[in-house]
């Protein structure tokens, strides 16, 4: 049985069981993932059926009907959509719609703002893609349910469960919503200094904390990026231990004052447990950026260089989904890993090289610091989150700084080697 349904009018291929469209370059990888667990030959055989069909690539094109249409089969229907009254923008979060209207239409609501009138409409909506290229579009409100009701008792039972879940979500959301207007006597000097509450104002703590979690089993591209970070950190560590850079360079890297050298050189003498903890700081930073880069609710800004690096990393990571490394020749596998590491290192340096002119939270790294500060409270059984205090947060800063220094050393060394190689090629030519 074919797991896909092709919608030629929209140029998308929808997985009927997963209920979202598949990128044209990811068909084989999707079929081989944990959702379907098909063999490589089976996946390629199914993918071949669609190789001559023109499918939209959400990385380069946007697809979303601009008129209200009948709900599309095999896609979930969301009844909590919020449609902007001034354009075709639709989302499912009050915070997102307010941010959209503030930034795009210069409409501000509440607390002495320009208007107190609601400028959006509640609608039903759907979307084709879940990650890159996710855009909601409005659909007609019909009497048809998106679930299969077997009998009246089942329908009533499901209705009760849904109402209870909705009430519970409402209560939890009120508990978890980060507010800038919290009682100042309850805000510590640490939180006043970091301005985390202001940066995350209006965000749901439980939801936003998920953005810095390690890559899950379905996020194959993120998994490859995490592996790349591990390889890069170990390569940088060996570069320093094997003294491939001068001691003068290490004195300069250790200094936090421009143009000055530190008294002691930079070192990487640490146990493996500490090294792994430090690696995880950067792994989660990059996962945070890739998870949020295409979200309307993104809390930071990206430079053109950063955007270019992100696309290169995603493209390099996607190639790993097409093959299993054990099925490749050793040279081919090493070449793929080398390419991935090159682009991942460039992305790390691009994130570090972010000029801050007005708001420091325009930086993805600074924004990540705020989200990474959220900690789940396990003891009270309410599933709430709190901000870590300065003592608890120190290991995150230490890991970020140490790995940033290591990656900077490695990047500079590779740049120097590339420059020498180009000079040699020019000389030979």
Q: What is the mean pLDDT of the chain?
A: 83
Q: Are residues 344 and 406 in the same domain?
A: yes
pLDDT score of 181: 43
Alpha helices in 210-329 (DSSP H): 220-241, 247-254, 272-292, 304-320
Q: Are residues 390 and 241 in the same domain?
A: yes
Q: Are residues 377 and 256 in the same domain?
A: yes
Name the domain count of the chain: 3
Backbone angles phi, psi at 186, to 5 degrees: -95, -5
Residues of the chain with pLDDT under 70: 109-117, 131-133, 144-187, 323-327, 378-383, 420-429
pLDDT score of 139: 93
Q: Are residues 232 and 308 in the same domain?
A: yes
Residue 200 maps to a domain? no
pLDDT score of 381: 45
pLDDT score of 150: 38
pLDDT score of 345: 97
pLDDT score of 368: 96
Backbone angles phi, psi at 266, to 5 degrees: -65, 140
pLDDT score of 207: 86
Q: Which two tokens stand for residue 325?
A: 């490394």
Q: How far apart are CA 367 and CA 301, in angstroms?
A: 10
Alpha helices in 33-143 (DSSP H): 40-48, 94-104
Q: Which two tokens stand for residue 156?
A: 């009533």
Residue 346 maps to a domain? yes
Residue 176 maps to a domain? no
Residue 173 maps to a domain? no
Q: Are residues 18 and 84 in the same domain?
A: no
pLDDT score of 146: 45
Q: Are residues 261 and 372 in the same domain?
A: yes
Residues paired with 428 in a beta bridge: none
Q: Which of 144, 160, 176 is the last residue of a domain?
A: 144
pLDDT score of 14: 93
Residue 33 maps to a domain? yes
Q: Are residues 40 and 125 in the same domain?
A: no
pLDDT score of 363: 94
Beta strands of 85-127 (E only): which ranges? 90-91, 120-127
Q: Are residues 368 and 323 in the same domain?
A: yes
Domain with 406, as residue range(s), is 210-428
Residue 183 maps to a domain? no
Tell the burial category of 392 from Cβ atoms under 10 Å away from its Cβ (0-12, 13-18, 19+): exposed
Q: Which two tokens stand for residue 374?
A: 């959220």
pLDDT score of 220: 85
pLDDT score of 177: 56
Q: Are residues 351 and 219 in the same domain?
A: yes
Q: Are residues 356 and 289 in the same domain?
A: yes
């Amino acid at each position: 049985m074919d797991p896909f349904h092709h919608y030629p009018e929209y140029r998308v291929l929808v997985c009927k069981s997963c209920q979202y469209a598949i990128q044209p370059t990811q068909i084989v990888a999707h079929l081989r993932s944990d959702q379907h667990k098909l063999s490589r030959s089976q996946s390629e055989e199914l993918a071949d059926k669609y190789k001559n069909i023109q499918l939209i690539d959400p990385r380069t094109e946007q697809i979303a009907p601009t008129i209200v249409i009948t709900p599309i089969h095999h896609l979930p229907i969301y009844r909590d959509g919020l449609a902007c009254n001034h354009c075709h923008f639709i989302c499912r979060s009050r915070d997102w719609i307010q941010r959209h209207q503030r930034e795009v239409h210069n409409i501000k609501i509440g607390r002495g703002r320009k208007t107190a009138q609601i400028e959006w409409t509640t609608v039903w909506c759907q979307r084709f893609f879940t990650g890159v290229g996710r855009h909601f579009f409005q659909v007609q409100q019909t009497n048809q349910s998106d679930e299969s009701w077997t009998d009246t008792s089942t329908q009533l039972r499901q209705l009760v469960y849904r109402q209870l879940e909705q009430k519970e979500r409402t209560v939890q959301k009120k508990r978890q919503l980060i507010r800038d207007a919290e009682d100042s006597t309850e805000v510590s000097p640490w939180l006043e200094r970091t301005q985390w509450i202001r940066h995350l104002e209006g965000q749901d703590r439980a939801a936003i904390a998920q953005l810095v979690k390690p890559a899950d089993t379905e996020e194959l591209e993120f998994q490859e990026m995490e592996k790349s970070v591990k390889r890069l950190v170990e390569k940088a560590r060996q570069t320093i231990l094997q003294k491939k850079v001068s001691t003068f360079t290490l004195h300069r890297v250790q200094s936090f004052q421009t143009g000055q050298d530190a008294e002691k050189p930079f070192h990487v003498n640490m146990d493996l447990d500490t090294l792994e903890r430090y690696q995880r700081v950067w792994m989660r930073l990059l996962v945070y950026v890739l998870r949020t880069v295409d979200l309307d609710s993104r809390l930071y800004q990206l430079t053109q260089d950063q955007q270019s690096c992100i696309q290169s990393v995603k493209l390099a990571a996607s190639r790993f989904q097409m093959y299993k490394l054990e099925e490749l020749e050793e040279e081919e596998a090493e070449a793929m890993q080398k390419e991935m590491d090159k682009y991942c290192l460039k992305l790390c340096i691009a994130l570090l090289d972010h000029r801050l002119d007005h708001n420091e939270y325009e930086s993805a790294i600074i924004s990540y610091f705020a989200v990474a500060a959220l900690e789940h409270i396990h003891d009270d059984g309410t599933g709430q989150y709190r901000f870590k205090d300065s003592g608890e947060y120190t290991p995150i800063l230490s890991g970020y700084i140490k790995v940033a220094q290591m990656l900077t050393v490695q990047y500079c060394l590779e740049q120097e080697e590339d420059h020498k190689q180009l000079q040699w090629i020019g000389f030979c030519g």
